[in-house]
Amino acid sequence: MGIEVRRKRELVIAAIEEIGAQGSLDVTVSKIARRAGVSSALAFHYFGDKDRLFLSAMRYVLTIYGAEVRAALARAEGHDARLRALIHASFTPSNFCTTAIAAWLNFYVLAQRSPEAKRLLRVYQRRLHSNLVHDLKPLTGAEATAIAERIGGLIDGLYLRFALTPAGLNGESATALVLSALDHEIGAAA
Amino acid sequence: MGIEVRRKRELVIAAIEEIGAQGSLDVTVSKIARRAGVSSALAFHYFGDKDRLFLSAMRYVLTIYGAEVRAALARAEGHDARLRALIHASFTPSNFCTTAIAAWLNFYVLAQRSPEAKRLLRVYQRRLHSNLVHDLKPLTGAEATAIAERIGGLIDGLYLRFALTPAGLNGESATALVLSALDHEIGAAA
DNA sequence: TTACTGATTGACCAGTTAATCAATCACTGA
DNA sequence: TCAGTGATTGATTAACTGGTCAATCAGTAA
C-alpha cells in the first residue's frame, strides 16, 4: 500500500508549487494541503511540523537535480563532453523554471535558520564543485579548482538572476553563457 | 528639525539588522521598532505599512552600495583600473558582510511579490552591467556585453554563496576570484 | 463477524501580529 | 500665556496560523 509515499509526494510537490507561486516561505500549511487536495491535519500527520515538510521539499528538488546530472554525465564521453553535459543539465527545464527557482531561492533563506537546510545546499555545492574539478583537472591541471570555483559561482549567479528576470534568460542562453566562460577559462589555462 | 529623517534612518537600519539577524523577512514590526528604541506605532506613523519600511531598507542598502561604487570609480584612472575598482567596491566590508548579504538575499525574495522591489534590483543589475560594459568595450570591443553578463553573474553568484558560507569566503578572496575571471575573459578576447 | 490499524478530518486552541486610534508629550511661534 | 503641530505611545482589535485531538472511515487479518 503505497498510499503514504504517494500522499507525501503530493504534499511535497504542492509545497514547492505553493512556495513558487507565493515566492516566499510564508505559506500556510493549510494552503499547501488544500493544493494537494487533503486537510492540513494530514500534512502534520505525515511530516510532524512545517519545517520538516519544507526540508522534504528541498530534498525532492535536489534529488531531481541530482538525477538529471547523473543521467547527463552517464551519456557523455570524454572530459570536455562531460563538462558540457554537466552545465547543460544545470539549466534543464525541470530545474530552470520559475517555480523551481523561486523555491530554490527560498531554500537559501530557509538555510539561514535551519542547519539541515544549510547542509543540504552545501552538499549540492560540493557535488557540483567536485564534478567540475573531476573533468577540469585533466584539461587544466592545477588551475582546475580555481576554475571550478568561478564556473560554479557563475551558475549560481544565473539562477539568482533568473529569479529576478525569468524573461530574457532561458535555459539555452544560460547554458551558452556558462559554456563561453568555460571556453575562455580553459583557453587561458592551456 | 531632522528628527523625522533620523528616526526613519534608525528604523531602516534596525530593519536591515533584524532581517540580517533573523535571516528572513519574517520579522515583526515590533521587533524592528524595539531594536530602534521606539514603539511599533511610530514605524507605522512614518512608513505607513510594513512593506514600505522594507522598500526603504532596500533603497538604503542600494544607496550605500552605489555611493561606494561611485567613489571607487572616481578614484581610478584608466579602463583597466576602473574595472578593478568596480569589482573591488562590490566586495567592500560594508556591503559584503553577513548582515547586508542576508538582507540582500531577502530582497530578492521580496522582489517575488513586490514590483517596486523588483524594479530596484533591476536598476542595480543594469547599473552594474553598464558600468562593466563602459570600461570593457575599449578593451574587448564587441565581446564587452557578453563578458559583462558573465562577470556580473559571477558577482551575484558569489553574493549568494556568501549567504550560505560566510566563513571560507571573504571580500579579498571574492575580489581575487572575479579579477581572475576578468583577466581570462580579457585575455581570450584580445 | 470482530478487532485492529492506519488514513483522514473538522473543530478547536493558544499564540502571534499588522494595523488602528485616542490620548499624551514636547516644542514652537505668536 | 496659549494655541497649534508633529512626535510618540499603550492599548486594542481583527485576522490568521501552527499544531493538537478526538472521532470517523476504510480496509484487512483472524
pLDDT above 90 (res B106): yes
The pLDDT assigned to B183 comes to 96
Please compute the mean of the pLDDT values over residues B173-183 and round it to a whole number.
97
Closest CA to B155 of B107, B101, B116: B101
The pLDDT assigned to A166 comes to 86
Q: In chain A, which residue's Cα lies nearest the Cα of B186?
A: A184
Confidence of residue B190 (pLDDT cuts 50, 70, 90): confident
Query: pLDDT digits over A132-182, tens only?
Result: 999 999 999 999 999 999 999 999 999 999 999 988 899 999 999 999 999
Please compute the mean of the pLDDT values over residues B118-147 and round it to a whole number.
97
Find which nucleotide's C1' atom is closest to A50's CA: D18
Query: pLDDT digits over A9-56, tens only?
Result: 999 999 999 999 999 999 999 999 999 999 999 999 999 999 999 999
ipTM over 0.90: yes
Find the Cα–Cα–Cα–Cα dihedral A46, B24, B127, B78, rounded to 10°.
-110
Please compute the mean of the pLDDT values over residues B110-114 and round it to a whole number.
96
Question: Which residues in chain A have their CB less than 8 angstroms from residue B154's CB?
Answer: 150, 153-154, 157
* Interatomic CA distance for residues A120 and B45, integer angstroms: 42
A25 close contact with B: CB closer than 8 A: yes
pLDDT above 80 (res A1): no
Q: Rounded to the nearest 5 degrees, what angle is found at the Cα of B113, between the Cα atoms of A166 and A63?
A: 55
Q: Are B107 and B159 in contact (CB under 8 A)?
A: no
A118 close contact with B: CB closer than 8 A: yes
CA–C1' distance B44–C22 (Å)?
A: 16
Q: Which residue's entry shows cell 517555480?
A: A99
* Interatomic CA distance for residues B66 and B107, integer angstroms: 16
The pLDDT assigned to A189 comes to 82
Q: Rounded to the nearest 5 degrees, what angle is found at the Cα of A68, between the Cα atoms of A62 and A73?
A: 125
Q: HSE-up of A154 (CA within 13 Å, CB side)?
A: 28
Percent of chain A predicted with pLDDT > 90: 95
- Please report, as a single letter, which amino acid is at residue B189: A
Q: Which residue's entry shows cell 570536455?
A: A80
Contact state of B163 with A125 under an 8 Å Cβ cutoff: no
Contact state of B153 with A177 under an 8 Å Cβ cutoff: yes
Query: pLDDT digits over B33-63, tens only?
Result: 999 999 999 999 999 999 999 999 999 999 9
DSSP characters for B70-106? HHHHHH--SHHHHHHHHHHHHT-TTTSSHHHHHHHHH
Please compute the mean of the pLDDT values over residues B118-129 and round it to a whole number.
97
The pLDDT assigned to B96 comes to 95
Query: pLDDT digits over B80-95, tens only?
Result: 999 999 999 999 999 9
What is the residue-averaged pLDDT of chain B? 95
B113 close contact with A: CB closer than 8 A: yes
Q: Are A155 and A178 in contact (CB under 8 A)?
A: yes
Query: pLDDT digits over A169-180, tens only?
Result: 999 999 999 999
Residue A51: count other Cβ atoms within 10 Å of its Cβ.
Answer: 15
A115 close contact with B: CB closer than 8 A: no
The pLDDT assigned to B168 comes to 86
The pLDDT assigned to A68 comes to 96
Residue B4: CB less than 7 A from any atom in strand D: yes
Residue A190: count other Cβ atoms within 10 Å of its Cβ.
Answer: 9
The beta-strand segments (E) located in chain B are: none
pLDDT above 70 (res B165): yes
* Interatomic CA distance for residues A156 and A74, integer angstroms: 23
Contact state of A161 with B154 under an 8 Å Cβ cutoff: no
* Interatomic CA distance for residues A75 and A78, integer angstroms: 10
Distance from CA of B150 to the nearest CA of A (A): 7
What CATH number was assigned to the domain covering residues A58-189? Answer: 1.10.357.10
Residue B113 per-residue DSSP state: T
Q: Which of A10-14, B173-177, B186-190 shows the lowest per-residue confidence on average (mean pLDDT)?
A: B186-190
Query: pLDDT digits over A45-85, tens only?
Result: 999 999 999 999 999 999 999 999 999 999 999 999 999 99
Extract the C-alpha cell encoding A160: 539568482
Closest CA to A165 of B145, B112, B148: B112
Topology of domain B3-189, per CATH? Tetracycline Repressor; domain 2 (1.10.357)
The pLDDT assigned to B1 comes to 52
- Please list, in sequence order, all residues whose beta carbon lies within 8 angstroms of the beta carbon of residue B39, skipping any fewer than 6 positions away: B33
The pLDDT assigned to A4 comes to 85
* Interatomic CA distance for residues B177 and B99, integer angstroms: 22
Confidence of residue B133 (pLDDT cuts 50, 70, 90): very high
Rounded to a whole number of angstroms, the distance between the first and last alpha carbons of chain A is 57
pLDDT above 80 (res B68): yes
* Interatomic CA distance for residues A12 and A7, integer angstroms: 9
pTM of the model: 0.94
The pLDDT assigned to B66 comes to 97
Percent of chain B predicted with pLDDT > 90: 95
Q: Rounded to the nearest 5 degrees, what angle is found at the Cα of B8, between the Cα atoms of B7 and B13?
A: 100
